[in-house]
Amino acid sequence: MESNRLKQIKEEALKQIESSNALDKLNEIRINYLGKKGELTSLLKGMKDIKAEERPKFGQMVNEARQAIEDMLEESKKKLMQVAREEQLKLEVIDVTLPAKKNNVGHRHPNMITLEEVERIFIGMGYEVVEGPEVEYAYYNFEALNIPENHPARDEQDTFYIDDKILLRTQTSPVQVRMMEKKKLPIRILAPGRVYRSDEVDATHSPCFHQIEGLVIDKNITFADLKGTLQEFAKELFGPQTKVKFRPHHFPFTEPSAEVDVTCFKCGGKGCRMCKGSGWIEILGCGMVHPRVLEMSGIDPEEYSGFAFGVGLERITLLKYEIDDMRLLYENDVRFLKQF
Amino acid sequence: MNTPLSWIKAYVPELEVTAKEYTDAMTLSGTKVEGYECLDKNLEKIVVGQIKKIERHPDADKLIICQVDVGDREIQIVTGASNVKENDKVPVVLDGGKVAGGHDGEPLPEAGIKIKKGKLRGVESEGMMCSIEELGSSREMYKDAPESGIYILKPDAKVGTDAVELLGLHDVVFEYEITSNRVDCYSVLGIAREAAATFHKEFVPPVIKVTGNQERVEDYISVEVVDKDLCPRYCARVVKNIKIEPSPEWMQRRLAACGIRPINNIVDITNYVMEEYGQPMHAFDLDTVSGKKIIVKRAANGETFQTLDGQIRNLDENILMICDAEKAVGIAGIMGGENSKITDDVKTMLFEAACFDGTNIRLSAKRLGLRTDASGKFEKGLDPNNAEDAINRACQLIEELGAGEVVGGIVDVYHAKKEEKRIPFCPDKINQLLGTQIKEEEMLEIFKKLELEYEESTKEIVIPSFRQDLECGADIAEEVARFFGYDNIPTTLPTGEATTGKLSYKLRIEQTARNIAEFCGFSEGMTYSFESPKVFDKLLLPKDSPLRNTVVISNPLGEDFSIMRTTTLNGMLTSLAANYNRRNKAVRLYELGNIYIPKALPLTEIPDERMQFTLGMYGDGDFFSMKGVIEEFLEKTGLSEKIHYEVKTEKPFLHPGRQADIIYQNKVIGYLGEVHPQVQENYDIGERVIVAVLDMPEIEPFTTYERKYTGVAKYPAVTRDISMVMPKSISVGKVEEVIEKKGGKILESYQLFDIYEGSQIMEGYKSVAYSIVFRAKDKTLEDKEVTEAMNRILKALQGMGIELRQ
């Protein structure tokens, strides 16, 4: 009799749970059946009327029924919550194509991006990045670099003079001499900086521009080392397919000297407008440090040798980013700067 | 320097190369070919034709119909040219051929002009007779061409043969970039010698024959060099019975290909030898030279002289003159005189081939403002040994061309004969420098091609006098490298002691500055280091401002670029103005650049170059956002103590009520402020501009990238808010000083959260509220401790006349 009632309660409860569609409804069902005054509880309270030998079995049946109801309640709750979450998510749909809220981070100057790229490559090869003065003694800019007085390179047409002993350096090479004079050997330095030449401002000239000087002095440094180093550099900077060509040239402070061309990074060497059809682009001058320059700096050329190179920073920046007017680099229009 | 390939081939007869091969190989051996021009570009199917018959065109007055024999047949050509007559031989472009340009001499079209059969006013025309312009040249270069009309060929031209060949246009002209050390390569012979070595062919220079009649040149002229330092050598020869006439066609063609206009036999010979040997020469009319004497000496100060271009030149004591017994007849190495120049009725001529001091010629030419072909050559410092060969070559050509009778002998004043140079030959050292393993024999082979003689007994290389650039072992190594091929030298990386790659510490701080500025929305600008002294007025700086003490460029590009900047503000404001002018909104820029502060004026040593970190903005953000950027940077570089801002009023370019010095540990490390409205106006910027300038050398000693972990707080914090009313004249900085001083050890931080002035606050007062946070590292704070600290703060504030509100 009582067990029939139990069965009935259980079925009724499960049915109610199944058909309920809200969390508070489920709670109500819990209270109605499992609460202190709930049906299952009152059934347990009537245990005393059951025969003693049947009590354990009945108790077990009640517990099973309770468990079944609880499980079902839990399951339904989960389902309802899932449904509710889904409803919520549907309400929260946003238009992902609305504009981004940017932090408006500033931009590095393209020259500086190129320079840092070059620095990264040479720092990796053990070079220290150093600087020297821009307003420099004529001695460091010329004499000590084997450019004696009255040499055409010292002509006022190219050089800004302060007086006859002090000038605006025309190249970063004086840093070579300043480093060598410190006599801390071996030397592996990269010296970027501003240089000055008396050129009127136009699309391809600026009276103030940047060079990057490199210098290595050690025992047994060879021209082959210079070639290897600059080949590595070119491949790092312009890509692994880049080919490098060394052409004999003349600089007063290196011997042998060379100019270095790389395969045009726009056409890959086939020839285009950028490389004027040649497939090659000249990027730097270099050579083995002239023994006289070593001597003047107090280094014994019989024991030590070295190489030096000089890269025009603007030239690489203009070519690399295909900037057609050098003046843009010094105007600082943010619409220009933001492109890098 | 331009040379036609045909002229090079004259001395390297076995040379057979395409223009491209020549360009590449010469460039790789050190004679850089900048470009080349094929003279026969777009000249196709052009033959020698002979006009057999001319008739009038039935329907056009200005046209004629010619029957032209082109060798294998006769064709009909209609032309508007009026200078042709029957039996004339002319260049004819056949049907399907091409010419280089139009007869108007306009710039040549890239692809040339195609010629096709067609009808002119109803009459069939099967080709075209060409003018010199249509053949891509000009009357300047082909003196015998008519002013307009068809180029008439010589009567001996063979009908049906290649007319382009006949005109010497199957040639390529190369343009070289010769490096300043290779003076010898500013000549056809010099380049030919390099070409021979590059292509492993024999070099066959012209053979100079002894020339001259039985007379003695000494009877005609004597030479005295007074200023020996400026004239190491002076050679003179005499030619009489001169017949001025056009030079032969072959000579005209060669000069034309080099871009030199043929004039007459005498002028052409001088130019020809100048090209061939690189030695400028001058010809005087000997009948105008008085006293049969040439004296080489410096001019007197204030002397004037009329050069052969008719101009009067002002001389000075450093200009070397060629004089006769009475007067000056030429400026040495630069230009001859009007009084002695060669005219069409010259009878006897004095030829001069000399060597002058290169530097002196360069400086003189500059002072005179007179740079000539000759001075351009002399200023490079010529080989004195070349002068004699050149003058003899010229006399040989005079004889060959029948231009006159050369007098026997030469006057040669060569007082300090150039000494022979010798350089020790050490193959091992060369290989060591190059990183190669080139055999000694291979090196000697290269030297031989370059006419560098090897003396085995002394193991020395004897340097020929024309190679003035070879002075030491490294120079010899370069010769080996050039002809071994730079391409063939291996590529290795330096071995030896390892070094640490890094940025210098200064540059590392600058990198941090860049990163912070960019995080804060500032983009990097670059401006010139020199500017106009007028910027100081623009910045309202008083006349006695120390910033006006500048490093001045003695030869600037103009006043606008004449002084080295002592402030970076002008660059920044100019850049901001450019942006404002282009309607760019909310612009933030920064620059890391030097200022140049003289230590003494005039300079006794190089100036102090101080790196400035300059920030500027308009349109978005105020004084305090700028403070934020500065503090982010200083914090990142390890300036962990409190930054002080000292109220300032005296920077004239800044708003007097909105400027401050930035102080760290009692040192001024920079300043910031709003730009003075007048300055803003001076730069045409229509919005408030905020700037900050940090002096990096002052900051560097305080910087550090070292950090120590101090733990994160484990115990709770206690926050107390205070609100006060205080006179406007007291800056909140004073309040903060009190909080810091009186807060004690448990003070963690404080923050201003409200500041207000206006209604409800007494006139001249402001209401300020702070939130103060206390915390102990080792325990939970008791209320009593916090209250004690607060009381200390409040008491001190009250002592300053600040009224607390609860």
In a domain, A96, yes or no: no
Cβ-Cβ contacts under 8 Å, A107 against chain B: 518, 523-524
Per-residue pLDDT for B503 more than 80?
A: yes
CB B436 within 8 A of CB B423: no
CA distance B513 to chain A (A): 11
Structure tokens at A131: 């600087």
Give residues with Cβ within 8 angstroms of B176, minimum separation 6: B1, B2, B3, B26, B31, B32, B33, B34, B185, B191
- Produce one character per residue of B121-149: b if its CB has 16 or more CB atoms within 10 Å, e if not: eebebbbbbbbbbbbbbebebbeebbeeb
Q: Are residues A176 and A321 in the same domain?
A: yes
Q: Are residues B520 and B429 in the same domain?
A: no
CA-based torsion, B375, B377, B383, B389: positive or negative: negative
Q: Are residues B341 and B443 in the same domain?
A: no
Instruction: For residues A6 and A8, give the distance between their C-alpha atoms in angstroms, rounded to a whole number.
Output: 5
User: What is the reported pLDDT for B668?
Assistant: 97
- Identity at B531, one-letter amino acid code: E
Q: Does residue B613 belong to the interface with chain A, where contact is any CB pair within 8 Å?
A: no
Instruction: For residues B791 and B435, give the distance between their C-alpha atoms in angstroms, rounded to a whole number.
Output: 80
Please identify among residues 18-77 of chain A the ones whose CB lies closer than 8 Å to any CB of chain B.
none
Q: Dump pLDDT digits (tens) for A73-98.
A: 899 999 999 999 999 999 999 999 99
CB B45 within 8 A of CB B94: yes
Give residues with Cβ within 8 angstroms of B380, minimum separation 6: B180, B183, B186, B358
User: What is the reported pLDDT for A1?
Assistant: 59
Q: Which of A216, A231, A256 sits opposite B474 (nearest CB)?
A: A256
Contact A223 B561 (CB under 8 A): no
Please identify among residues 663-722 of chain B the ones whose CB lies closer than 8 Å to any CB of chain A.
none
Structure tokens at A129: 């990045």
| Residue labelled with tokens 């059969």 | B117
CB B739 within 8 A of CB B771: no
**What rounded mean pLDDT belongs to chain A?**
91
Nearest to B633 by CA among B519, B528, B792: B519
Please identify among residues 93-132 of chain A the ones whose CB lies closer than 8 Å to any CB of chain B.
103-109, 111-112, 119, 122-131
Per-residue pLDDT for B383 more than 70?
A: yes
Q: Dump pLDDT digits (tens) for B614-647.
A: 999 999 899 999 999 999 999 999 999 999 999 8
Q: Are residues B161 and B184 in the same domain?
A: no
Q: Are residues A61 and A117 in the same domain?
A: no
Q: Are residues A288 and A211 in the same domain?
A: yes
CATH of the domain at B443: 3.30.56.10
User: What is the reported pLDDT for B104?
Assistant: 76
Cβ-Cβ contacts under 8 Å, A106 against chain B: 517-524, 588, 590
pTM: 0.86
Q: Are residues B114 and B48 in the same domain?
A: yes
In a domain, B713, yes or no: no
- Identity at A287, one-letter amino acid code: G
What value of ipTM does the predicted structure carry? Answer: 0.87
Chain A residue with Cα closest to B472? A291
> Which residues are bridge partners to B682 per DSSP?
none
User: What is the reported pLDDT for A113?
Assistant: 97
In a domain, A86, yes or no: yes
Q: Are residues B254 and B297 in the same domain?
A: yes
**What rounded mean pLDDT belongs to chain B?**
93
Q: Are residues B67 and B129 in the same domain?
A: yes
Q: Are residues A193 and A258 in the same domain?
A: yes
Chain A residue with Cα closest to B528? A208
Q: Does residue A164 come out as left (phi exceeding 0), alpha (psi in the -120 to 50 range) or beta? A: alpha
CA distance B176 to chain A (A): 13
In a domain, B498, yes or no: no
* Least confident segment among A50-59, A319-328, B286-295, B392-401: A50-59
Q: Which of B180, B500, B517 sits opposite A106 (nearest CB)?
A: B517
Q: Dump pLDDT digits (tens) for A293-327.
A: 999 999 999 999 999 999 999 999 998 899 999 99
CB B239 within 8 A of CB B349: yes
User: What is the reported pLDDT for B806?
Assistant: 60
In a domain, A318, yes or no: yes
Contact B524 A337 (CB under 8 A): yes
Give residues with Cβ within 8 angstroms of B159, minimum separation 6: B47, B48, B49, B50, B69, B70, B71, B89
Cβ-Cβ contacts under 8 Å, A250 against chain B: 179-182, 469
In a domain, B359, yes or no: yes
In a domain, B48, yes or no: yes
Mean pLDDT score, B650-664: 95
Number of domains making up chain B: 6
Q: Are residues B183 and B300 in the same domain?
A: no
User: What is the reported pLDDT for B398?
Assistant: 95
Q: Dump pLDDT digits (tens) for B157-198.
A: 999 999 999 988 999 999 999 998 999 999 999 999 999 999
Q: Which of A128, A194, A335 sits opposite B501 (nearest CB)?
A: A128
| Residue labelled with tokens 């900086």 | A193
Q: Are residues A115 and A86 in the same domain?
A: no
**Full domain range(s) for residue A310:** 110-337
User: What is the reported pLDDT for A274?
Assistant: 83
Q: Are residues A50 and A175 in the same domain?
A: no
CATH of the domain at A164: 3.30.930.10
Q: Does residue B29 belong to the interface with chain A, where contact is any CB pair within 8 Å?
A: yes
In a domain, B208, yes or no: no
**Full domain range(s) for residue B587:** 505-702
CATH of the domain at B798: 3.30.70.380
Mean pLDDT score, B75-96: 93
Between the CA of residue B222 and those of A325, B324, B784, what are the distances in Å? Answer: 60, 10, 117
Q: Are residues A12 and A78 in the same domain?
A: yes
Q: Are residues B284 and B432 in the same domain?
A: no
Which DSSP state fits B643?
P
Percent of chain A surpassing pLDDT 90: 66
Mean pLDDT score, A124-149: 95
Between the CA of residue A1 and those of A33, A49, A57, B349, what are the distances in Å? Answer: 19, 12, 14, 154
Per-residue pLDDT for A21 more than 80?
A: yes
Per-residue pLDDT for A47 more than 80?
A: no
Q: Are residues A151 and A262 in the same domain?
A: yes
Q: Are residues B53 and B116 in the same domain?
A: yes
Contact B502 A128 (CB under 8 A): yes
User: What is the reported pLDDT for B120?
Assistant: 87
User: What is the reported pLDDT for A133?
Assistant: 97
In a domain, A203, yes or no: yes
Contact B503 A126 (CB under 8 A): no
In a domain, A11, yes or no: yes
- Produce one character per residue of A142-161: b if its CB has 16 or more CB atoms within 10 Å, e if not: bbbbbbeeeeebbeeeebbb
CATH of the domain at B323: 3.50.40.10
Q: Are residues B445 and B514 in the same domain?
A: no
Number of domains making up chain A: 2
H runs (alpha helix) in A97-256:
110-124, 138-141, 174-181, 223-238
Concatenated DSSP letters for B748-779?
A: EEEEEEEEE-STTS-TTEEEEEEEEEE--SSS
Instruction: For residues B654 and B675, give the distance between their C-alpha atoms in angstroms, rounded to a whole number.
Output: 4
Nearest to B69 by CA among B157, B151, B164, B133: B157
Please identify among residues 769-788 of chain B the ones whose CB lies closer than 8 Å to any CB of chain A.
none
Per-residue pLDDT for A189 more than 80?
A: yes
Instruction: For residues B172 and B43, give the distance between their C-alpha atoms in angstroms, rounded to a whole number.
Output: 13
Q: Which of B488, B513, B530 is the last residue of a domain?
A: B488
Q: Are residues B515 and B654 in the same domain?
A: yes
